[in-house]
Amino acid sequence: MPQPSFTVRKSANITKMATPCLVLPIFKGGRLKGDIAALDAQMSGAISRAIKLGDFTAEVGTAFSLLGTQQTQRILLLGCGPAEDFDLVSSKKVAQSAGKHLSTTKAREAHIALESLTLPPEETASLLETLATEILWACYVYTETLSNPKNVPSLAKVSVTTAAGLTTGKARKALDAGVAIGEGVNFTRQLGNLPANICTPTYLSKQARALGRKHAKLSVSILDEKKMRELGMGSLLSVGHGSDEPSQLIVMEYKGGKAKEAPYALVGKGITFDTGGISLKPGGKMDEMKFDMGGASSVFGTLQAVVNLDLPINVVGIVAAAENMPSGRATKPGDVVKSMSGQTIEILNTDAEGRLVLCDALTYVGRYKPKEVVDIATLTGAIIVSLGHEASGIFANDDDLANALLAAGQRSHDRGWRMPIWQEYQKQLDSRFADMQNIGAGTAGSVTAACFLARFTEKYKWAHLDVAGTSFLSAPKGATGRPVPMLVEYLRARAGQ
């Protein structure tokens, strides 16, 4: 699906500008000044009347559109609130309302004029980044399997001009960063939204190979079932055993740092469909289990953004992809498997499959001697009981890593909330027939799931993000692209940016 492109233009007089849609952010209070006042006069006071009539209050996040002149066909006023209150949250709100309106306009091109917005250059740059990201998000529509897609945005090109304080180069850089994040999120959403008969483990590995071919700093290798058997990944393999789709362990290595530098690692749960297996899920909403690869898709989207941002660090992304199906070959409750770590697992519930694929991927990633490991998984329904759809659950064996993720979530408005993995919970996983069982005793389901993973991550700094409540929504049904903004922000900070 085509997405709008962004360019920086040399500042121009907006009263002389020809554009199908002129976007003007305006602070609340004060009189219209400079170019905007001139434009208002040219339009016989239409803008000031919109303000006087109360239709446009310039409250942050509000918007008002009016027809312009022959050359400036439409004008979109964006409320920015009082100048002295403008902050990161306001810039997010302004960008969101720009996205909302520009994704529904019939205009194919728009121009955003930031000259009259008196902000320090760094704040203008950050607003530009957010604008690009939000406009891209708003313009994403799923069309893949529709004969006649509706509501496809017309917008193809966006240009911007800024006040003299910000160089064209810096403005360009800010837009590029916003585009990288926006496209990363949209890629993640697209993979999530695809139906499970298209988005199989094999499809995911093809996506990885395609990404690797496109970028010189990204190399991709795929471990098939035979290779995984040789490595002793009995836990991961037990999940796809009932499926006709072969499981895949996808490894993507981004080398933006020094050759010998230890990488940051992202490990994603990639269950392309979760029926529950022999512990079959009830039928209602089972279709939503096509989103059970939300962790995996966030690894793809984050890596794509990291490559496009050209971050000066090394990152390894691992996706454990499998389909969880019941069949004559499927794993049965009570079966005992041996993980790559050597620890044995009694599978009491085949629907607790995410931790079974992740534990082997987490053992495997140890080979890279990673600086830090973050796994991302739609792991438990219980995290939705705890945190709803607002925050991703953050579990970590390292305070500094947990705090870095919390802070990154705040900055990117893609928040997480820390949960415990105390020793006291571990005894719920004791088993009579194996080193551990794959489910707890019924309470604190998200915590016991994380405690299970903690048994495989003792050798490195590790965090686990439970994104069952945040990576997709039931209404409007679809993948959100979370937690890509948080992860990109975390890695940018680790890269010193």
Active site residues per annotation? 281, 355
Contact status: 245 vs Zn ion (CB under 5 A): no
- Tell which positions 259-278 bind ligand BES, by CB under 6 A: 274
Measured CA angle at 407 (ends 6, 177), to 5 deg? 15
Binding mask 273-302 vs Mn ion (x if CB under 5 A, - otherwise)?
A: -x----------------------------
DSSP 469: T
What minimum distance in Å lies between the beta carbon of 435 and ligand BES? Answer: 18
- Binding residue (CB under 6 A) for ligand BES from 353, 360, 375, 414: 353
Q: Which helix (H) or strand (E) holds 192?
A: helix 168-193
Part in contact with Zn ion (CB under 5 A); list of ranges 87-95, 165-173, 235-243, 269-277: 269-277
What minimum distance in Å lies between the beta carbon of 308 and Mn ion? Answer: 33
Q: Please tell me the distance from the alpha carbon of residue 356 to that of residue 338, in angstroms, as a whole number.
A: 10
- Binding residue (CB under 5 A) for Zn ion from 354, 393, 440, 483: 354
Contact status: 40 vs Zn ion (CB under 5 A): no
- Tell which positions 275-304 bind ligand BES, by CB under 6 A: 292
- Binding residue (CB under 6 A) for ligand BES from 378, 437, 457, 470: 378
Q: Please tell me the distance from the alpha carbon of residue 208 to that of residue 202, in angstroms, as a whole number.
A: 10
Beta strands in 258-313 (DSSP E): 264-274
Contact status: 375 vs ligand BES (CB under 6 A): no
Q: Please tell me the distance from the alpha carbon of residue 51 to that of residue 79, in angstroms, as a whole number.
A: 11
What minimum distance in Å lies between the beta carbon of 310 and Mn ion? Answer: 37
- Tell which positions 451-470 bind ligand BES, by CB under 6 A: 468
Instruction: Name the residue nearer to ligand BES (CB basis): 353 or 372.
Output: 353
For residue 489, what are its two tokens?
A: 């922000």
- Binding residue (CB under 6 A) for ligand BES from 352, 365, 401, 434: 352
Asked whether the CA dihedral 49, 52, 58, 64 is positive or negative, the reply is negative
Instruction: Name the residue nearer to Mn ion (CB basis): 312 or 334.
Output: 334
382 binds, among Zn ion, Mn ion, ligand BES, none (CB under 5 to 8 A by kind): ligand BES
Residues facing 112 on adjacent strands:
23, 160
Ramachandran angles phi, psi of 410, nearest 5°: -65, -50
- The answer to whether residues 134 and 86 touch, using CB atoms and an 8 Å cutoff, is no
Q: Which residues, other chains included, contact 295 with Cβ-Cβ below 8 Å and sequence gap of 6+?
A: 267, 268, 269, 270, 375, 376, 377, 378, 379, 465, 467, 471
Contact status: 274 vs Zn ion (CB under 5 A): yes
Residues facing 465 on adjacent strands:
376, 394
- The answer to whether residues 347 and 337 touch, using CB atoms and an 8 Å cutoff, is yes
Part in contact with ligand BES (CB under 6 A); list of ranges 174-182, 350-358, 365-373, 426-434: 350-358
Instruction: Name the residue nearer to ligand BES (CB basis): 129 or 292.
Output: 292
DSSP 329: T
What single-letter amino acid sits at 444?
Answer: A
For residue 269, what are its two tokens?
A: 């749960």
Q: Please tell me the distance from the alpha carbon of residue 21 to that of residue 11, in angstroms, as a whole number.
A: 16
Part in contact with ligand BES (CB under 6 A); list of ranges 78-86, 347-355, 400-408, 479-487: 347-355
Binding mask 334-373 vs Mn ion (x if CB under 5 A, - otherwise)?
A: -----------------x-x--------------------
Instruction: Name the residue nearer to ligand BES (CB basis): 19 or 470.
Output: 470
For residue 136, what are its two tokens?
A: 């891209």
Part in contact with ligand BES (CB under 6 A); list of ranges 221-229, 357-365, 366-374, 378-386: 378-386
Q: Tell me how far apart the terminal alpha carbons of the chain are, to the nearest angstrom.
A: 31
Contact status: 388 vs ligand BES (CB under 6 A): no
Part in contact with Zn ion (CB under 5 A); list of ranges 226-234, 236-244, 273-281, 310-318: 273-281
What minimum distance in Å lies between the beta carbon of 352 and ligand BES? Answer: 4
Residue 286 CB coordination number (10 Å)? 14
For residue 346, what are its two tokens?
A: 């009694």
Contact status: 159 vs ligand BES (CB under 6 A): no
CA distances from 183 to 107, 194, 458 (A): 21, 16, 34
What minimum distance in Å lies between the beta carbon of 5 and ligand BES? Answer: 35
- The owner of tokens 């996506």 is 207
Part in contact with ligand BES (CB under 6 A); list of ranges 3-11, 115-123, 375-383, 395-403: 375-383
Contact status: 252 vs ligand BES (CB under 6 A): no
Residue 495 CB coordination number (10 Å)? 17
Q: Please tell me the distance from the alpha carbon of residue 451 to that of residue 470, in angstroms, as a whole number.
A: 21
Q: Please tell me the distance from the alpha carbon of residue 383 to that of residue 374, in angstroms, as a whole number.
A: 17
What minimum distance in Å lies between the beta carbon of 349 and Mn ion? Answer: 8
What minimum distance in Å lies between the beta carbon of 351 and Mn ion? Answer: 4
- The answer to whether residues 239 and 356 touch, using CB atoms and an 8 Å cutoff, is yes
- What percent helix, strand, coil does the chain show, rounded to 5? 40, 20, 40
Contact status: 382 vs ligand BES (CB under 6 A): yes
Instruction: Name the residue nearer to ligand BES (CB basis): 68 or 277.
Output: 277
Contact status: 323 vs Zn ion (CB under 5 A): no
Interaction site with ligand BES (CB under 6 A)? 274, 292, 349, 351-354, 378, 380-382, 439, 445, 468
Interaction site with Zn ion (CB under 5 A)? 271, 274, 292, 354
Interaction site with Mn ion (CB under 5 A)? 274, 351, 353
